[in-house]
Structure 1
Amino acid sequence: MKVACVGGGPAGLYLSILLKRQDPSHDITVYERNPEGSTYGWGVTYWRGLLDQLREYDPESAQAVDEHSVRWSDGVARVRDLTTTQPGDEGHGIGRHRLLKILAERARSLGVRLEFEREVSAEDLPDADLIVAADGVNSALRTRHADHFGTELKPGRNQYIWLGTSKVFGSFTFAFVETDHGWIWCYGYAFGPEGSTCVIECAPETWTGLGLDTAAEADGLALLEKLFADLLDGHSLIGRASTDGSAQWLNFRTLTNRTWHRDNLVLLGDAAHTTHYSIGAGTTLALEDAIALADALRDHTELPQALAAYEQRRKSALLSIQSAARYSAQWYENLQRYIHLPPHRMFALLGQRHSPLLPYVPPQVYYGLDKAAGRLEALRRFKRWLGPRLARTVHARALASRK
């Protein structure tokens, strides 16, 4: 099969690796409009479940990803001058540039052609049996047939900016700062010994009140460094200015499509769907798309059936994740509902932000119910553990009494 993958991000590169592993005779080319080694953003997050999948599908690249990742298990929340810490599942971070380098090198070693600085026009597609649109949320290939795909983009309310810093966070860190114009907050996580990612978010009225809507990038970064001085410990923030020198503040856009394929064209990763960055699942979902598409192409000899199976599998898997992402975004959009709780309670509800029930129950009541449910579940686990042991003890004593 001849495959043209438009977009050299994690999804496109990983798909090319998997297809070459399945059948080395596949003729696969990845087209990327940007120069090799250039990328946006700083780091990406993932959890153990993804690493287990990567090991199953390509142990070589999985080992490289694992070796170049950092880990954390605690979450830290700073609210004004108060700090609280809670244990959590082990998280992983890796530099986006490093991840792309690992995947590109692995793809080349398997015989995939990588063509950088190669723009593919929606009007002049490569000659291929399968064309994969892995060209992101602004996909030109999808946009040309937006009516067919049933594309919908829904902007969120808050403003956010993706930044880096030379500070290396030891835990996944949240910091909430109160200003005269409302709250502004940061999500920070390390991606390597060289630094961390900082995503800063605020409501639109805070954004305009602080003058961040009109500030040049350098002025905006200086203000943010001042606001988050306690968090940064003297380290600087690093931006990515646009060509006119303005800072790249954005509204997150939730993308959905009614269908993911048209003839021999199929959508992958952010070209097919997006989920709010606050759940940290974008790269994981893109790689899982690649896995599902490769599986479908292996299991079905006819392309239409393969693409339909891929779409059905991924849409089903995404239902709960997309719901969680919507509620997570809404939690931050309604921060005033939670921010004045004691920090440990606010942090506990931050961890519950995916719940569809939380927006409709008073926060203090929800916190109490959640604590009670946790105690009940702990008791159930203890009883499940204790039950067989008591039974064995009673049985042993009964046997002893008969002797």
Structure 2
Amino acid sequence: MRTPLRIAIVGYGTGGQAAAVLLSRDGHRVEVFERAAELGPVGAGFLLQPVGQAVLWDMGLLDAACMHGARIASLYGETATGRAVMDMRYAELDARLFGLGLQRGALFQLLDAAWTEHRVLHRGHRIVDVDVERGALVDGDGRRHSGFDLVIVADGAASVLRSRVAAAALDRPYPWGAQWCLAPMGDWASADVLKQRYIRARRMAGMLPVGTRPDDPVPRLSFFWSVPVGELDRVDVDREAWRRDVAEVWPEALARLDGIDAPNALAQARYRDTTHRHWHRGRAVLLGDAAHAMSPQLGQGVNMALLDAQALRDALRAEAMVPTALQRYERERRAHLSAYHFWSRALTPLFQSERDAAARIRDLTFHPLSRLPVARGMMLRVLTGTRRGWLSTFRLPRGFADVLATLPVARHEAVRAPVDARRDAAVAID
């Protein structure tokens, strides 16, 4: 793409931010339309896999991310009675690899600060329609924003615009969601492990170390609690009953919520399962969860959004025309994503549902299977994002794994966080 394009991006989440940075650096004139009047991340914490780390490395942001994030060596899941369900260790795939627990706020601030070229950001603009043939947007006040060579729809899993670009082959909400918050890490012993505990598939709690963020030096944990969607909007939640439920699964995790008005101050998360036969039409293209929303069971949402942004940039570099670039982008990303939707759809009911028999089979078989060499390798490939389709491997950039050993390591010492329910509530809703 030799001629700079005028590009509109709808949505300033991870995918939209990364696309804005990468495309602006290539000389394109980028304008972002974000419906929120005040900028900020949505969600508490996440696990950045090696594939996502490689994109930040390409952007020159991985050093800073590592200084804020927590290096994760393994994912360990067990029943509330202590029976191991899964034990996946990055070193068993490659001793140089690790996960990086990050606060959403940390990544948001790093990406926002990195967007310096041709920065035009329209806050408080809710886009309600896209003219894919003319490259125009219509906002909630009826104003038309036109003249774009490319429109990137990156407005998330609950996208209101995806159907304007392409009809969904599947678009349905999951019946289970989650409650999230950030809690002070303190002397939490499992500083390099994503830990989960289960009672069948009906109750699940997770604790992920996520480090600090630029405006908050307190090391934190991201707490996750599985909840049926029907309970998320209840206003009559029995606080003590909720605490007893969490304590039954994991009393040590509940203790980390002292000083937080749980569950009232916890953020809510809802998930969708969305696939499209096509991701682009005319001058418009889908990116991130707007193109391929799935449950967070595989923890790949942020990673896939970053890879989408990078692949779109690369396709625009490689092709002379926008239509062929969009075809190239979709072809590349579909080849990587094809198996992830299947596994996400298949695994989610084993961890978030009322299927007790399926959960019992999970408890009996998952850990033994994960110790078999072939199965272990496949599971680790899926975890790290390096499975491409069903049989191939997604190749990390040449030399990247060696670079990981030279990156700075954050030293997150316990910092006493103020016990202020209002402050922690604000953190939880980020």
Normalised TM-score (structure 1): 0.73
**SS in structure 2 at match of 1:8:** coil
What is the aligned partner in structure 2 of residue 100 from structure 1? 108
**Percentage of pairs with the same residue:** 23
Equivalent residues in 2 for 1:2-401, closer than 5 Å = 2-23=6-27, 26-55=28-57, 57-59=58-60, 61-82=61-82, 84=84, 86=87, 88-89=89-90, 90-108=98-116, 110-122=117-129, 123-124=138-139, 125-127=144-146, 128-143=148-163, 145=164, 148-167=166-185, 170=191, 171-177=193-199, 183-192=202-211, 193-201=218-226, 214=234, 216=236, 219=239, 222-228=243-249, 230-232=251-253, 234-236=255-257, 252-332=271-351, 333=353, 336-337=356-357, 340=360, 348=367, 370=372
**Which range moved further: 118-127 or 319-328?**
118-127
Tell me, in whole angstroms, the C-alpha distance in 1 between the residues paired with 2:334 and 2:24.
Answer: 25
**SS in structure 2 at match of 1:289:** helix
Provide Cα deviations, 1:116-142, integer angstroms capped at 9, x if missing partner. Answer: 333233235522111111111222222
8 A contact 1:279–1:325 mirrored in 2: yes
Which structure: greater helix fraction? 1
**Which range moved further: 219-228 or 126-135?**
219-228
Tell me, in whole angstroms, the C-alpha distance in 2 between the residues paired with 1:372 and 1:318.
Answer: 21
Tell me, in whole angstroms, the C-alpha distance in 1 between the residues paired with 2:54 and 2:374.
Answer: 33
**CA 1:309 to 1:173, structure 2 compared with 1: closer, same or farther past 3 Å?**
same
**SS in structure 2 at match of 1:121:** strand
8 A contact 1:215–1:247 mirrored in 2: no
8 A contact 1:217–1:247 mirrored in 2: no
**CA 1:194 to 1:118, structure 2 compared with 1: closer, same or farther past 3 Å?**
farther
Tell me, in whole angstroms, the C-alpha distance in 2 between the residues paired with 1:142 and 1:105.
Answer: 28
**Which range moved further: 77-86 or 6-15?**
77-86
Residue identity opposite 1:82 in structure 2: G
Query: Structure 2 unaligned runs (5+)?
Result: 91-97, 130-137, 212-217, 378-430
Measure how far apart 1:326 and its partner are.
Answer: 1.8
Tell me, in whole angstroms, the C-alpha distance in 2 between the residues paired with 1:172 and 1:185.
Answer: 13
Tell me, in whole angstroms, the C-alpha distance in 1 between the residues paired with 2:101 and 2:289.
Answer: 20
Provide Cα deviations, 1:211-230, integer angstroms capped at 9, x if missing partner. Answer: 87745457375455444452
Q: How many residues of Structure 1 are paired with residues of Structure 2 in the alignment? A: 339
Query: Structure 1 unaligned runs (5+)?
Result: 353-366, 376-403
Larger RCO, structure (CA 8 Å, separation 6 or more):
2
Tell me, in whole angstroms, the C-alpha distance in 1 between the residues paired with 2:36 and 2:183.
Answer: 24
Greater Rg by CA: 1
**SS in structure 2 at match of 1:198:** strand
**CA 1:217 to 1:92, structure 2 compared with 1: closer, same or farther past 3 Å?**
farther
Provide Cα deviations, 1:240-271, integer angstroms capped at 9, x if missing partner. Answer: 99xxx798766532011121112111111111
**CA 1:41 to 1:249, structure 2 compared with 1: closer, same or farther past 3 Å?**
closer
**CA 1:240 to 1:316, structure 2 compared with 1: closer, same or farther past 3 Å?**
farther
RMSD over aligned Cα atoms: 3.4
Measure how far apart 1:341 and its partner are.
Answer: 7.3
Tell me, in whole angstroms, the C-alpha distance in 1 between the residues paired with 2:332 and 2:202.
Answer: 40
Residue identity opposite 1:15 in structure 2: A
Measure how far apart 1:289 and its partner are.
Answer: 0.6
Measure how far apart 1:15 and its partner are.
Answer: 0.9
**CA 1:281 to 1:82, structure 2 compared with 1: closer, same or farther past 3 Å?**
same
**CA 1:296 to 1:140, structure 2 compared with 1: closer, same or farther past 3 Å?**
same
Provide Cα deviations, 1:127-160, integer angstroms capped at 9, x if missing partner. Answer: 21111111112222224x26x4335213334443
What is the aligned partner in structure 1 of residue 408 from structure 2? none
8 A contact 2:198–2:205 mirrored in 1: yes
Tell me, in whole angstroms, the C-alpha distance in 1 between the residues paired with 2:361 and 2:108.
Answer: 41
Measure how far apart 1:20 and its partner are.
Answer: 2.1
Tell me, in whole angstroms, the C-alpha distance in 2 between the residues paired with 1:142 and 1:373.
Answer: 36
Residue identity opposite 1:160 in structure 2: A
Normalised TM-score (structure 2): 0.69
Tell me, in whole angstroms, the C-alpha distance in 1 between the residues paired with 2:10 and 2:376.
Answer: 47
Measure how far apart 1:308 and its partner are.
Answer: 1.4
**CA 1:257 to 1:342, structure 2 compared with 1: closer, same or farther past 3 Å?**
closer
